[in-house]
Amino acid sequence: MNAIADYRTYPLISPLLSVQQHPDLIEVTWSDQRRSPFHHLWLRDNCPCPVCVYSVTREQVFEIADVAENLAAQHAEIDESGALSVRWNDGHHSRFDPGWLRAHAYDDQSRADREASRPQKQRWVAGFQLPVFDYQAVMEDDATLLQWLLAVRDTGLTQVRGVPTDPGSLSQVARRISFIRESNFGVLFNVQSKANADSNAYTAFNLPLHSDLPTRELQPGLQFLHCLVNDASGGDSRFVDGFAIAQALHEEDPQAYRLLCEVAVEFRNKDRHSDYRCLAPVIALDARGEVAEVRMANFLRGPFNMAPELMQPYYRAYRRFIEMTRQPRFQFCQRLEAGQLWCFDNRRTLHARDAFDPASGARHFQGCYVDRDELLSRILVLQR
């Protein structure tokens, strides 16, 4: 019986030493003396045989509801290749590679080991050492590409230099990750001062620290801003790590942090042809209770709509968050020059632009979005 492998490889950390059967589970002991329980339902649910997994797509076709409720292991052993072999009471046979089994073990120590090895966000403040990458290396060398994408994932702010300044060059860089996410501003959008603007970004105004498209149910994950020409005075870029500010707020003002996590507010983006609205909290937590997203653009926010007793405390919390984004201790500032581009996590890193004088020279940036899922997928494929 052959197993259908997924696209990853699982090194043998420790061989299987022994197997012990219990009424509802099989307990294995590894050569390093770790003991891991595997419930019958879990093992049967993850059987990798060709009957349970389609070999072409490597996706499961079996569902746990397909077996009887009295499912039990009739016999379990370590076979001649070192794999866990299980014969079920309905006649089905499952075989589990020990590398795969150890990688998915759910005893307390194995789960703790996986948690400890999980990629950690590197929060940053003023004085941040910006990760900088060369365009040619990113385009031609997958090892450099992986380093860049890991930096985007872990720090949320990077720069690529030596990019051609021809309009449209940005799309080639972005597609080194994946396809570009189109919005009502287009596939590539031009950031330059223009009459009859449909966004404050297309003016010469100062833009306060914000995330793009907080009016969408899913904010774009990555944002690219590529400088084609920047001869105007002013217009420097400013960034803050929204995760670092959320952490500091949690430590310095827990009540304000809780309100920004729990109370949803409406963000709106309306022009002559579209009207986007999203009700969401400023700080969103993931399943682990960790900050997963910061949603902020004061110029795209509707009036607060909440219980009267929350209004005053919420305004205090909201004001505190904005004040913190303005504090020099959190800000990274740099002017973007022609041939350089920013790539940052739009759901984490808030960005701003100082006002500039359009009469002093030309200023033309191009931007685009790629979803965070595409970044994470590309990293995993490159790591294979």
Q: Residue 279 in contact with residue 264, Cβ under 8 Å? A: yes
Over the stretch 231-278, which tens digit does the pLDDT of each residue have?
988 889 999 999 999 999 999 999 999 999 999 999 999 888 889 999
- Bridge-partner residues for 363, per DSSP? 230
Tell me the DSSP string of 87-110: EETTS-EEEE-HHHHHHT--SHHH
In this prediction the pTM is 0.90
As a whole number of Å, the end-to-end CA separation of the chain is: 25
Lowest mean pLDDT among 66-70, 126-130, 171-175: 66-70
- Reported confidence tier of residue 193, pLDDT bands at 50, 70, 90: low
- Reported confidence tier of residue 307, pLDDT bands at 50, 70, 90: very high
Q: Residue 97 in contact with residue 10, Cβ under 8 Å? A: yes
What whole-number distance in Å separates Cα of residue 214 and Cα of residue 258?
20
User: Which amino acid is residue 52, in one-letter code?
Assistant: C
Q: Residue 330 pLDDT more than 50?
A: yes
Average pLDDT of the chain to the nearest whole number: 94
Q: Residue 293 in contact with residue 348, Cβ under 8 Å? A: yes
Cβ within 8 Å of residue 354, ≥6 positions away: 206, 234, 235, 236, 238
Q: Residue 198 pLDDT more than 50?
A: no
Over the stretch 37-58, which tens digit does the pLDDT of each residue have?
999 999 999 999 999 999 999 9
The H helix count followed by the E strand count for the chain is 10, 24
Confidence at residue 177, expressed as pLDDT on a 0 to 100 scale: 97
